[in-house]
Structure 1
Amino acid sequence: MGKTADLTVVQKTTTDTLHKEGKTQKVIAKEAGCSQSSVSKHINREAKGRKRCGRKKCTSNRDNRTLERIVKQNPFKNVGEIHKEWTAAGVSASRTTTHRHMQDMGFSCRIPCVKPLLNNRQRQKCLAWAKDKKDWTAAEWTKVMFSDESKFCISFGNQAPRVWRKRGEAQNPRCLRSSVKFPQSVMVWGAMSSAGVDPLCFLRSKVNAAVYQDVLEHFMLPAADQLYGDADFIFQQDLAPAHSAKATSTWFKDHGIPVLNWPANSPDLNPTENLWGIVKRKMRYARPNNAEELQATIRATWALITPEQCHRLIDSMPRHTAAVIQEKGAPTKY
């Protein structure tokens, strides 16, 4: 017969708890999800006070706390740099041991999320905004038309997918990802509401106040009439210079359109950013050769956005504001 498997930490804890409650070994084994012989072996070992076999640990709890402090002080260091700093503190451990201890503490090496840098003043304003909107219901958020601009490039860089290929196919054109020195790109303006998306506007020049007002006149107003009719709505925009210009503010007043106050550097609050993300993920497999093909691909992909997707994103706004309050104005997971 094979050796009895050792219990995991969770199984040991469950076994000890149930054993103290007077449960039988058969019941304990069923609850812990292991064999009855493993339970018996663990209980007998604990009763005899026998220590677990194996090599003695080379680090103390104090050494481990030092390692955790080093990692938290600069989480962007690699394992080699962290190991060097840890051993400089007087700890005798190998690089492998350092890596294993970091994993045991719950640290994993991941690609960091990219978020706008917020200074303390901007965080306070974002927090104040979230507290002001915390009582808004999902129904109130449906009255808001969200807008945003986004840049699309022919080459999507690291967003491109991996490729399945056989040995010797590394240079096969079918398996290559094209690289362009100066990739063509287009800037797109789009808007959304709980009822769906608005027609896209491809910006051909630098966006100043005059260009932006032209976009509002020929794209936003017709879409608002179609989506809201005679009902009132609130327009959302970020604090880009063209958006916050005095001439643009005057345009909104002349047209009787209220604008939602918005905190600076807070794209994670705008559900339109999620739509851009959806479109770009769907376009990962597209290979447009020029700006015209890129525009056509963007239009076709944008048309696939359903009203149900938009409605779900609008419904998430109360959770967005709650997350901002929880993070005290700092960037959230959204």
Structure 2
Amino acid sequence: MVSQSSSVGYTIMGKTVELTVVQKTTIDTLHEEGKTQKVIAKEAGCSQSSVSKHINREAKGRKRCGRKKCTSNRDKCNLERIVKQNPFKNVGEIHKEWTAAGVSASRTTTHRRMHDMCFSCRIPCVKPLLNNRQRQKRLAAKRTGLLLSGPKLCALMKVNFCISFRYQGPRVWRKRGEAHNPRCLRSSVKFPQSVMVWGAMSSAGVGPLCFLRSKVQAVYQEVLEHFMLPAADQLYGDADFIFQQDLAPAHSAKASSTWFKDHGIPVLNWPANSPNLNPIENLWGIVKRKMRYARPNNAEELKATIRATWALITPEQCHRLIASMPHRIAAVIQAKGAPTKY
């Protein structure tokens, strides 16, 4: 049975619900006027027992009662230090180390204190491993003019697309007992068919796609000749631009460097293990998310899906990614060369 008035408070099955600030103020005012508890309960919209408990609690000067915490602020600081020293430990290991320091607390209390300090268990982000030398090179990107090259930057990257159902989404809606139902399973293939794709982008939009049939080292200069140069003419015309590529073996080979010098194309000095500085990485992520629910049956259907999705990329999306270069560099400088959120 539920009785509810125009007030916020109400009573369920004879059990009192926590009083609101308005109800407490109403009870205090009517109690000072000498009203009976029955009248006060009717006016405040709560049960008579709630009125009685509130009046008696206020008369005794006691807000709440309860057992005192078994840990002190010093113990909480010690627990926070333990968690920060190695955040990859599980609750059992953290609890064992905390109690070894002289704290008398259960595993549940340890878990609760960690939540009180806003620690949550999450899947960690995966970033490339960077040593001190690589961090210094990433910081030196500010001095190489990378910060000022955003609008004139032409970025390229190759990526591998597989025929797989991993694009269908990370979760499934199902009922209890349907965990092994075929329609609720995510299928996996040991050696799925795949295609290697080369693409280029700038602040003006994307260039044509190139599907590679062999290793990049053998055909990289042909890709530059037949795809990169037409893409640069399409995106920039006669204007100058700076070419960006990572440190893949085909990109850093002596023959590739000679090709760029012969064609008079400046290449950006790129630090190792820095995909978070490359805006085209985000563009490939956009393409893969758009293909999440695609179900190609063979390599040709996969290529057609990639082409159709690539054609949906707008110049505005590319411009926003290229314009984010100063923010990426600033984040690297703030992190002192360490991985960033990009």
Same fold flag (TM > 0.5): yes
Counterpart of 2:261, as a letter, is K
Distance 1:114 1:180 in 2: 23
Q: Does 1:179 align with 2:188?
A: yes
Query: Cα RMSD between the aligned structures?
Result: 2.4
Change in Cα spacing, 1:203 to 1:317, as seen in structure 2 (3 Å) is same
Residue number in structure 1 paired with 2:19: 4
Q: Which digits, 9 at most, give the CA deviation of each residue in 1:58-98, with x for residues without a partner?
A: 11222212211221111112222222222222222122211
Q: Give ranges in structure 2 of 5+ residues lacking alignment.
A: 1-8, 10-16, 22-53
Match of 2:122 among 110, 113, 119: 110
Distance 2:168 2:262 in 1: 42
Change in Cα spacing, 1:330 to 1:57, as seen in structure 2 (3 Å) is same
Q: What TM-score, normalized to structure 2? A: 0.79
Q: Which digits, 9 at most, give the CA deviation of each residue in 1:273-319, with x for residues without a partner?
A: 00111111111111222222222221111111111100111111111
Residue number in structure 2 paired with 1:82: 94
SS at match of 1:285: coil
Residue number in structure 2 paired with 1:60: 72
Change in Cα spacing, 1:157 to 1:92, as seen in structure 2 (3 Å) is farther
Distance 1:238 1:328 in 2: 21
Shift of the alpha carbon at 1:162? 1.5
Q: Does 1:142 align with 2:151?
A: yes
Shift of the alpha carbon at 1:99? 1.1
SS at match of 2:270: coil
Distance 2:254 2:274 in 1: 22
Residue number in structure 2 paired with 1:306: 314
Q: Which runs of 4+ in 1 moved over 4 A?
A: 48-52, 156-159, 166-173
Counterpart of 2:171, as a letter, is R
Counterpart of 1:114, as a letter, is V
Q: Give ranges in structure 1 of 5+ residues lacking alignment.
A: 7-40
Q: Does 1:270 align with 2:278?
A: yes
Distance 1:194 1:105 in 2: 43
Match of 2:131 among 103, 108, 119: 119
Q: 163-172 or 119-128: which moved more?
A: 163-172
Distance 1:186 1:154 in 2: 9
How many pairs align? 292
Shift of the alpha carbon at 1:132? 4.2
How do residues 249-268 of structure 1 correspond to structure 2 at under 5 angstroms?
Answer: 249-268=257-276
Counterpart of 2:267, as a letter, is V
Max radius of gyration: which structure? 2
Q: Does 1:197 align with 2:197?
A: no
Give % identity.
83
Q: What TM-score, normalized to structure 1? A: 0.80
